[in-house]
Chain A
Amino acid sequence: MNGGQDLGGTHGHGPVEPEANEPVFHAEWEKRAFALTLAMTAPGGWNIDMGRFARENRPPGEYLSMTYYQIWLAALEHMAKEGGLVSDDEIEAGHSLQPPKPVRRILLPGDVAKVLYRGGPTERDTNTKPIFGVGDRVRAKNINPLTHTRLPRYVRGHVGTIERVIGCHVFPDSNAHGGGENPQWLYTVRFDGPELWGADSDATIKVSVDAWEPYLSPAT
């Protein structure tokens, strides 16, 4: 979606402000919001693409003014409600008012280390062959879905070069919306700075994105 999260190339946000000796978490609630989000993927049956969409799918004004973990919290509340796991009155009350929804599994303490170490690899086997090869010129399509996509606006319509054929990976545009993993060939596509930012811009810059095959068409 063309939401508040698609920030590449936007202006007006001011300088980057690193914090010296920054703690991992700035408040106790951040730790809890972080852990709850990770732990709820099991009972929720959610995948990471659904989570990303829930976060980016905030009204842009809110997205841009919320802090990072406030966004996580808002997304978690939304997904938990949508999934029928909690209700608005329960969140309001701060405790359970109805019986829980039966869930397949929850994250147990003994499994934490194993689950984190295993992670969630997204590469999948396939019988298909990649359409593009290293060095091919490709154009990022002008797509504007209301749903989840990982093709940022700043590259759409622009021509780049295939730098790497990565492999066949879960396709977020489907996976975020119950369309299944639908794995597609994934490429690193490299764009020259001036192609993206104009003829007068810095020619020493090159920017790449990782783009799935459905995002790309051949460029002549």
Chain B
Amino acid sequence: MSGHEHDHHDHDHSELSETQLRVRALESVLTEKGYVDPAALDLLIETYEKKVGPRNGARVVAKAWVDPAYRARLLKDATPAIAEIGYAGRQGEHIVALENTPKLHNMVVCTLCSCYPWPVLGLPPVWYKSAPYRSRAVADPRGVLADFGVTLPKDTEIRIWDSTSEIRYLVLPMRPAGTEGWSEEKLVELVTRDSMIGTGLPKSPKDLAK
């Protein structure tokens, strides 16, 4: 299961069109039998394609950066704190926020499948669900971070959280320097999806200026 769904080899193309036909066949049968409603299917797709995404989590992080009381609530019990902002539900019923510090860096993985905090990050990217990440994050996190172009100090403790239950993890990255007085809206721009998984760091003010 490599992240190569978009490779352009001939055998991939014929496999994919076979898959396409199978999906279409299955959808036809299920719809004809009345088990699924096509309008419901479209709404499900629209929700996760357009409405729910990492911007949700970025808002949570930005708020925690500016509001110490919110930060405390978030770290104590993330699910209701996140619901305060309006995000909740499927694959986010039990969220735990993980605080990065200068001494501790958190990373989240699901070695067994693809568990991911949908309400705050949307659907997981292909790399998160693929064998390289799932196999190496727990054994060689520094190697994985190197694949993302991130190097941490040798003595930073790295905590990897394998999401084996319905608990979902959201990394709270450290607030970048040089952002004193910034509004939440502006801070949101710095919070990348990867920084909330733990495979990246937030942008810095100069990254925004580019």
The interface of chain A, by Cβ under 8 A from chain B, is 5-11, 13-19, 22, 24-29, 31-36, 38-40, 43-44, 48, 52, 55-56, 63-68, 70-71, 73, 76-77, 80, 85-86, 90-96, 100-101, 103, 106-109, 111-113, 115-123, 150-152, 154, 166, 169-170, 172, 186, 188, 190, 196-197, 201-202, 204-212
Contacts and interface: CB of A to CB of B under 8 A. Distances in A.
A65 B164 contact: no
A91 B25 contact: yes
Tier of interface size on chain B: 35 or more
A159 to B, nearest CB: 16
A127 B66 CA distance: 40
Nearest to A15: B147
B112 A205 contact: no
Interface of B: 1-6, 16, 19-30, 32-37, 39-45, 47-49, 53, 88-94, 111-114, 119, 122-123, 125-127, 129-136, 138-142, 144, 147-148, 154-167, 194, 199
Contacts of A103: 35
Contacts of A66: 1
A113 B146 CA distance: 39
B138 A207 contact: yes
A82 B102 CA distance: 51
Given A36-B36, A120-B93, A207-B162, A202 B142 contact: yes
B35 A43 contact: yes
Q: Which of B35, B88, B154, B160 has the most CB of A within 10 A?
A: B35
